Structure 1
Amino acid sequence: MFSFFNKKTHIDHIEWLGVDMHAHWLPGIDDGAKDMASALNFMKSLQELGFKKLLATPHIFTELYPNNKEIIENTLESTRTALKATSLHIETAAAAEYMVNEDFDVSNDLVCLPNKHILIEMSYISEMPNIEQIIFNLQVKGYVVVLAHPERYSFYQDKHQRFHRFKEMGVLFQLNLLSVSGYYGKDVKRLAEYLLQKKYYDLAGTDLHHEKHLHALTREIQSGRLHDKLGNVDFKNMELFF
C-alpha cells in the first residue's frame, strides 16, 4: 500500500554542503573563467544552486600558471569590485591549488584556505616520488594538507594502501562532486565510491572550470541525484571554512 511517509525527499539544491572550497572562477589567471563576465556568471550560478560561500583556488603551476599571492589577491579584489556592481551578494575568498612537483617550494609564502589548510594536487600521470616528505615538511610548518580529488589519480586504482597511508599521516581528502556522477569516467567513479565507503573524504568541491562543468553540476544537483549520493556524508566544508 502506498504511503506518503515512504516518499523520498527530493533535495534540488546544495545548501547541505554550503561552501565550495575548490573552484576556478577567478578570471584570466588559469584554465578556469576566461574573463570577468564568465566569473560573475559562475558565481551567480553557484549561489543559485545553494552555495553560501565561494572559495576560488586557481592553479599555481610554474610551467603553465605561474601565479603567486599578489596575483591571486589582486584578481580577487578586482572580482569583488565587479561583484559589487551587480545585485549578487555572496561571501568570497581565494586560496590556491598547488601542483606538487619538482618546482614546489615549501618555503614560499603559500596561499592557503582558512586556518592554514593547503590544497595540493599531483600529476595525473604518476605519483610524486617524495610526496610523503613534502606532506611532512608542510605539516612541520603548521599547514593542514588537503589532497585535491584523490579519486582522479589513476595510478592509485590498484594501490589503495597509498590512501590508507595518507590518512595515517593526517591528510584531508577532497572529493570532486562530479566524480560520483561518472563525469570523469567509470574508474574515477569507482574509486570515489571506494573512498566514500571508507569514509575517507573530509571535504568536497565543484572544481569548476568551465560551462560544461557548470551544466553537469546543475543537472546533478537539481535532479536530486547529488544529494541522494552525498547528502549524508560528513563533509566539513561549513565547519572549517564558513
Structure 2
Amino acid sequence: MLNIFKSKIYLKDLLQGITDIHNHILPGIDDGAANEIDSVQLLLKFKELGITKFIATPHVMNDYYPNTRETINNALSLLKNKIIEDQELQKVKIKAAAEYMMDQSFMEILEKKELLCLNENYVLVEMSFFQAPINLNEILFKLQTQGYRPILAHPERYAFYHSKDLSKYADLKNRGCLFQINALSLSPHYGSQIQEIGFRLLEAG
C-alpha cells in the first residue's frame, strides 16, 4: 500500500497548490480553531505543507453549532484581517462555505436556499458517525432537484458503510453523491480499518 505520509518532503510536493476544501480554521465558531491566534498558527502550519488556498467549512449542526451565513462571514472577516497583518501569510487566499449535518435543521436551510457552497453548486455534507439519516435518500434527492451537488465529508469514517464490496458507497455514488476523503484517514490516525477503507475508496474511483 502506498504510504503518502512516508516523508514530509513528498507530502509537501503532493499538496503543493491544492485548495483545502474541508477544514475548521475559522476562529471561535465550532470545534476547530478556538480564536484568531489558533487560526493563524494553523495557516502557518498549512503553509509549511505548501497549502495556501482554503475554503473554510465550519460545522452547521442544529443546537451544537447553529452557524449562519452571518456568523460564518463575521469569523471569516476577523481571520482575513489577521492575514493582512501577518507578512508570512500574504499569499493565503481564503473564502467560506460550511459543512452541513444532514438533519432537520439542514432541511429547513435547504428549503430557504441559504446554503453556503464550496464552489458554484457543490455542498459539503456530513452525517452522524452512528447511523445515516433515515431520510438520507430524500435529502440527496432534494439537494439535486434544487440544483446542488452533494459532497459527503469523510465517507471512510462511517463504519456502518464498511463492507467487502463497498456496495453502500456505490449506491450513494449512483445517487449523485460525491466523496471527500480526509487526508489523515490515509494514515493510521483514525485506525487501520478506516485507513484501509480510505485507500479502497480511492482505488475504486
Matches of 1:185 and 1:128 in 2, distance apart?
24
CA distance in 1, matches of 2:15, 2:63: 37
Instruction: Specify which of 121, 132, 139 is matched with residue 144 of structure 2.
Output: 139
- Distance (Å, rounded) in 2 between the aligned partners of 1:178 and 1:55: 18
Cα separation, 2, equivalents of 1:100 and 1:139: 14
Offset of residue 51 of structure 1: 1.1
1:1-242 matches, cutoff 5 A:
11-13=10-12, 14-16=14-16, 18-87=18-87, 88-89=89-90, 90-105=92-107, 106-108=110-112, 109-158=114-163, 160-199=166-205
8 Å contact kept, 1:180–1:189 = yes
- Give the CA deviation at 1:190: 1.6
Shift of 1:54: 1.1
Query: For structure 1, which runs of at least 5 residues remain unmatched after alignment?
Result: 1-9, 200-242
Shift of 1:156: 0.6
| Equivalent position amino acid for 1:69 in 2 | R
How far is 1:111 from its partner? 1.2
Aligned match of 1:205: none
Q: Which amino acid aligns with 2:55?
A: L
CA contact (8 A) 1:58 1:97 kept: yes
2:130, 2:160 within 8 Å by CA — same for their partners in 1? yes
Report Cα offsets for 1:74-106 as digits up to 9, x if no partner. Answer: 110111011101111211011000001233222
Offset of 1:16 from its aligned partner? Answer: 4.4
Amino acid at match of 1:198: A
- Change in Cα spacing, 1:12 to 1:102, as seen in structure 2 (3 Å) is closer
What is the alpha-carbon root mean square deviation over aligned residues? 1.4
1 CA distance for matches of 2:77 and 2:27?
A: 11
Q: Deviations over 1:109-144 (max 9, x none)?
A: 111111121000000001111111101101111111
Structure 2 CA distance for aligned equivalents of residues 39 and 16 of structure 1:
20
> Which amino acid counterpart does residue 180 of structure 1 have in structure 2?
L
Question: Would you tell me which structure has more helix in proportion to its own residues?
Answer: 2
- Structure 1 ranges of 4+ moved more than 2 A: 14-17
Alpha-carbon distance, 1:12 to partner: 4.2
TM-score of the superposition, structure 2-length normalised?
Answer: 0.88
For structure 2, the 5+ residue unaligned runs are 1-8
For residue 58 of structure 2, what is the amino acid of its counterpart? Answer: P
1:160 CA drift (Å): 2.4
Which amino acid in 2 is paired with 1:33? A
For residues 65 and 50 of structure 2, the distance between their equivalents in structure 1, rounded to whole angstroms, comes to 30
- 1:123 match: secondary structure: coil
Structure with the larger RCO, 1 or 2 (CA within 8 Å, 6+ apart):
1
C-alpha separation in 1, matches of 2:11 and 2:142: 42
